[in-house]
Amino acid sequence: MGYEIEFYKTENGRKPVEEFLKSLQKNQSARILKDIELLKAIGADLYYPYIDSIKGENTRA
């Protein structure tokens, strides 16, 4: 089962993720949006290299 994707919105209505995507070249944003669509469709069953665990001092892994 996939995920519902919601981009972050600030209290004053800014959408920094959308702003970032719009600032990219078309081929760059298309690649990112394709991966977001995979997350939307497949969710936690998505596999490497699309997802991977994050390890570090400030993570719970």
| pLDDT tens string 7-31 | 999 999 999 999 999 999 999 999 9
**Residues in Cβ contact with 54 at an 8 Å cutoff, skipping those fewer than 6 apart:** 61
Q: What is the pTM of this model?
A: 0.70
CA 15 to chain centre: 14
Lookup: tokens for 34: 């394709």
Q: What is the pLDDT of residue 60?
A: 62
Pairwise CA distance, residues 7 & 38, whole Å: 15
* DSSP summary character for residue 37: H
Nearest to 51 by CA among 61, 36, 29: 36
